[in-house]
Each structure stands twice: as structure tokens, then as C-alpha cells.
Structure 1
Amino acid sequence: MSLLLKLPAYAQIKSTGDADYLLGTWIGMTARIVSDNIPPERHSVNWRIHKIDLKKNQLEMTEFYHKLIAHDSNSIERPRKVYSARLVDKSLFVELKDIKTDTTFTLKLSPKMMQEFPTLQNEKGDLLVRNEQVVFVLSKISSDTTNFLPKDQRQKITVDVLPPPPVPPKKQ
């Protein structure tokens, strides 16, 4: 099947030097550890990091489906800027806000390889939110950095499906 787009398709990739490995789509989970006797409370994490400006210490990302820190857990259509994001020795430090208590905290995510996949992880015990340990593990699944567009800004595209080319006759 051949596909033709009648409108151009775009992707955004901004070079950020040493932080290029962070750009893209990351999925994973957080686990809130209350005690050793109670199973951890887990939540999925989905981040798309659109751009990083190391000079301004800014990170622009879309986060969605996350009950702990999401600015709007029902929306993936509004990217937000996270200020005070910095890179130190390949580790990403991001200042986030706990929407339940209106407090901010700093999350340190270090790059690691899990099998052949790049991951960002914090160490157990490094982060306390509401007096509970929180563990983050994110795996990079894509280098896509495109913004999600609100429904009123999306353009419709037309896809034409063409028949396959004719099969040449077999030589005898």
C-alpha cells in the first residue's frame, strides 16, 4: 500500500548539545513507597520532552496520565514549560510541583541502560513527597518531539491510497 500526503508533515528537533539524548517520548512508572509492609502505589508516567534550553535552565514538555505531578491529568494537548531544569553530569534535575500540597520538589533523574533501552531513574530514597519515598523509572520509546495540538488547531489531512504497481511478467 502506498500513502501520499496532500499536506506536508512536520517534526521539531532542536539541537541542545549535551542534552540531545533527553529529547523525545518517555514512558514509565512511579512507585510511592509508604512502608515495607504495604505494596507500593504505582502510577504510569508519560512525558514528551520537546525542547531543552540549557542557557535558560528551561525544559518544555508535555506530561499526561500522571496523578502525582501532572498539571492536568486528563490533557495531553497543553505543553508546559518547566523552569529550573538543569543538567549536571548527564543527570537531569527538574523542579516539579505536587498539586495536592502545592509544594515544589526537585527530581533527579540519572541516565541508565536497562537491557538495550535508555532509561531515566532516580535512586530509592532520593525523593520524598508527602513523607513517602517516590521512585521514578522512565524508558525512552521514541525521539519524537512534536507538540500535541489542540483540536481547534489541528488540520485535516487527506491520505490517498494508491493501488500497488503492476507486477512485471515472469521471465521464463
Structure 2
Amino acid sequence: MRKISILLMCVMVLVLSACNDKSKSSSNDKNGEEIESDQVSFLKEEPKWDIQYGVDEEYNFNGLNVLLEDINFSTYEDTPQIGIKIKYENRGHGSFEVYPGQASIKLDSGEELSVTDVSFTKEEGSSKISDKGDTFTATYAWNLSYSDIPEIKKVEISWDDYQVSGDDILDYKKFNGVYELED
């Protein structure tokens, strides 16, 4: 019986170490900057934004203050990127769940971006905003496939925010903004 127990423990150690090796190889660290996945390269650090548009669009959704601060572009990486900076603050007594990282973006070049194109995420706070005074701040970047940044003059961004009670959705607001970018 003792031999079987030792054998089982050895097998478990081998299985666990094999699982650990697989997770290391799937998150390939390339020059300390990117992690490769099947769909897109994820940056570890926020892109350097060389073109910035201060949008400062603010609205209130049942006590949730939402501020879209900036739309940014980066041409420093091999793949050009578009990014947004957003802030949420619960100024009421409701509970909310917000998902701006799942935004859909349409450019006047015809290119459409979704959550599968996200290349960078920086979030401070929880996307589940429950108590008055809770905040959530985020920066997201999406890889552009074929759009030439200097030619982009119009950006449409949309996502859903939800007012919740436990697992129940009480209300939702579709954020949809269309922005004319000026030189």
C-alpha cells in the first residue's frame, strides 16, 4: 500500500510539473515586451501615444458617471494601434457592471475592431462597481489591421454598461459615440 501511495505522489508531481511547463510556453515573453497568443500580441506596457485627441465626453447612467477621456493612436509599434482612456465613478447607490474593453470600434476607413483585436489592457479598480464612491479607470488599445492613421478622420465607439442587482440586470445603457478627429 505504501508503494502505491508513493507511486501516485510521483505521478502527481510529474503531471503538475508538465502543466506548469505548458503554461510557461503558451505565454511566450518576446524581448520583455509582448506576450504571443493565437489571436493577437498583448503588450505588457502601455503603447506610446503619438497622436492624442482629448474627447472628454461625460454622461450619467443612473448615478454612474462615465467619462471617455481620450482617443489615442500609436505608430511606434510594428502594428499601429488605437486606444481609449475611460473613467467610471459610482455617484449613486446602484450597482453596475461595465465592459468598455469589449467595445466595438468602427473607423471611416471601413475597418471594424472588437474585443479580439485588443492588444493592451490596463484596469484600475473592478469592472463591478457596487458602492457609492467606487471607481474604475481603464486604458485599452486595439491593433489596426490596415487603416492608415493619418487618414482616419472619424471614429465610432460603442459598448454596453449594466445596472445590476445580484445576478439580475435592472437596466443597461449602450454607449455610442461618433467622433470627428481634427488635425
Does TM, normalized by the shorter one, top 0.5?
no
- Higher RCO (CA 8 Å, separation ≥ 6 residues): 1
| Higher fraction of helix | 2
Question: TM-score, length-normalised on structure 2?
Answer: 0.24
Question: TM-score, length-normalised on structure 1?
Answer: 0.25
